[in-house]
Structure 1
Amino acid sequence: MKRYWILNMITLAALAILALSTVVMLLWNWLVPALFNGPSISFGQALGLLILSKVLFSSLKQGRWGGDYLTRKRAWKNRFEEKWRNMTPEEREKFKSTMKQHCSKWGWMPQPSDSQSHQESV
């Protein structure tokens, strides 16, 4: 199931890039030649323009993919590990069962059968 989810995300990302490149190409070819007597561009050139704008207008140290993201991720992990160390074994088991229930709702883990959920509640 997880493999299909990853494949769907890759497909969705590719479709989003194709759609965005098409929109850039259509807008450019509609506006630039009429307003500035500039050239028309192809789909590949529109894709290159998107990549160039990403490089020029986004900082590598900010946002999701930069160092700030990694710092926040490490901080979250450290906080979680500290909380985990301070939990009693009963609290850990309760947390695990709660996470299994939440994850099974979204299809990340198999749903517990009725007999397992009945045994856990007893």
Structure 2
Amino acid sequence: MEHKKEFEKAVEKKVKSTVKKVVKIVAMVILGVLIFLLANYVLMRLWNWLMPDIFGLSSITYWQALGIFVLAKLLFGFGGGGKGKGGSSHKKKINSSNKCGSWRRDFDEWKHYDQFWKEEGEEAFKAYIEKIKNENHDTSQEKF
């Protein structure tokens, strides 16, 4: 008999939990639809307030605004780029070790720069400057 009462309480608790979840889902769907309709109305009002005066376009109806809203969402995406409860994004995750990997490899080579400059850099640079001066001198004489 006592086993039966515990079972009834467990079933009752589960039913209450399920009903709460269903009510929350229905409320969220209704809220989402209302926000969508309100956003469409705001779009229509903004269009009718700004576009005729700025660009000389005609006013639009609510249903035309809905079409523009849906078209914009199809063309430019639906957002949703944020992270969900799991903390994962729908975008490809990039490991911090792979970020700028090629740049890091190139940067590692720069540790030899000072030694190179001491051994060969100054002489190579001076030779380059002399080469440029000679080329400029030769081209300036050819123009006359």
Q: Normalising to structure 2: TM-score of the pair?
A: 0.41
Q: Could you say which structure has the greater relative contact order, defined with CA pairs below 8 angstroms and 6 or more residues apart?
A: 1
Work out which of the two has the higher radius of gyration on C-alpha atoms and give 1 or 2.
2
